[in-house]
Amino acid sequence: MRKLRGVISNSILAVALIVSVPLVASAQPSRLILDFPDLSGKASETVDVALDGSMLRLAAGFLSSKDADEVRIRELVRDLKGIYVKNYSFDKEGQYDPADVQRVRAQLTGTWQKIVNVKSRNRAGTSEDVEIYLQNVNGRIEGMTIIASEPKELTLVNIVGPIDLQKLSALEGQFGIPEGLSGDAPRKDGSQ
Amino acid sequence: MDLEQELKQALRRVDPPEGFVERVLVRIENESSATVSQNSFGPFPRLVPRWVATGLLAASIGAVALGLGTYRINRLAGERAEGIRARQELLLAVRIASQKTNLARTAVQKTSFELR
């Protein structure tokens, strides 16, 4: 009987190993490589934010506990492992190569899913394309990537960890940013 | 007087003067306490007077304490500056991410409104 139990437990272990190895092997990293050394030279303005888990904890520690917006942000980033943002602004159109953006898209395979692909024009007639990707691992959101491209601006956002898209989106209107700045959404009932 | 007699006279037993033993003991005791007092401080008792050594030790301790205090203050100031910078970066990152997601959300809402 003891021998039989041993055989069964060994078999379960072997099956678990066989099943888990391909899963681990196919798991896509949440953090992407957002490295464009050439673009920094061409851009008139560059924003480069790289906050790993420990820096996020440090930053969250300096958020106000009295300011409601900062309390919301602290809640939003509590379980995150990193936030990486690259924003390039250019004086002229066509300064960045679409192939650079394609290099980012190429990393978004496997567990990454594109959930939004918006091609729009703002009031000034400038095209604004936004792609949002979520990394879904066993039903849990483990990462988010935003690729926002305009003729004179390229923005890449990579959030590592469980992120609440609804809460993130709801933060616009804070920090002095007028809500709906980048588009006019006619709302039937005036709600969001 | 022959030589033998002279030697006997010179080497004859003579009692010490009165109080000789006490004086010797007192002198031994004084010298002993003076030696202990000199050796009781530091490895170079004869090179540095005791008050100088004490002053040097106190100054050394003070310098080390001051150094540690300054280091700690600088470290805390550095951490605080780094934390404030990280906070500003976080607010900027969240603002950009929020702007872009809201842009997408607005566009999706607009499209769904137009389809109705």
Nearest Cα to Cα of residue B99 among A81, A125, A71, A132: A132
B110/A183 Cβ within 8 A: yes
For residue B71, the distance in angstroms to the closest alpha carbon of chain A comes to 21
pLDDT at B68 exceeding the cut of 80: yes
Interchain CB contact of A85 with B (< 8 Å): yes
Residues of A in contact with B87 (CB under 8 A): 59, 62-63
CA A7 – CA A22 distance, rounded (Å): 24
For residue A65, the distance in angstroms to the closest alpha carbon of chain B comes to 13
Crossing angle of helices B50-115 and A68-77, in 10° steps, is: 90
Count CB neighbours of A142 within 10 A.
21
For A126-140, letters b (16+ CB in 10 Å) and e give: eebbbbbbbbeeeee
Query: Which of A24-28, A49-53, A177-181 shows the lowest per-residue confidence on average (mean pLDDT)?
Result: A177-181
Nearest Cα to Cα of residue A32 among A95, A111, A94: A111
Query: Which of A19-28, A29-38, A161-170, B53-62 shows the lowest per-residue confidence on average (mean pLDDT)?
Result: A19-28
Crossing angle of helices B50-115 and A53-61, in 10° steps, is: 100
For the ranges A22-36, B13-27, B36-50, B99-113, the one whose mean pLDDT is highest: B13-27
Among the partner-chain residues A55, A155, A184, the one whose CB lies closest to the CB of B96 is A155
Residue B53: predicted pLDDT: 85
Section B14-27 average pLDDT: 86
> Average pLDDT of chain A?
80
Express each pLDDT in A129-182 by its tens digit. Answer: 999 999 999 889 999 999 999 999 999 999 999 998 888 887 765 444 444 433
HEC assignment per residue over chain A:
CHHHHHHHHHHHHHHHHHHHHHHHHHCCCCCCCCCCHHHHHHCCEEEEEEEEHHHHHHHHHCCCCCCHHHHHHHHHHCCCCEEEEEEEECCCCCCCCHHHHHHHHCCCCCCEEEEEEEEEECCCCCEEEEEEEEEEECCEEEEEEEEEEECCEEEEEEEECCCCHHHHHHCECECCCCCCCCCCCCCCCCCC
Residue A2: predicted pLDDT: 58
| ipTM field | 0.74
Interchain CB contact of A71 with B (< 8 Å): no
Q: What is the DSSP letter of B11?
A: T
Task: Kindly give the pairing relationship between strand A112-121 and strand A82-89.
Answer: unpaired
pLDDT at A24 exceeding the cut of 60: no
Interchain CB contact of A141 with B (< 8 Å): no
Section B48-66 average pLDDT: 90
A87/B98 Cβ within 8 A: no
Torsion on CA atoms A114, A116, A117, A119, rounded to nearest 10: -170
Q: pTM for the whole thing?
A: 0.67
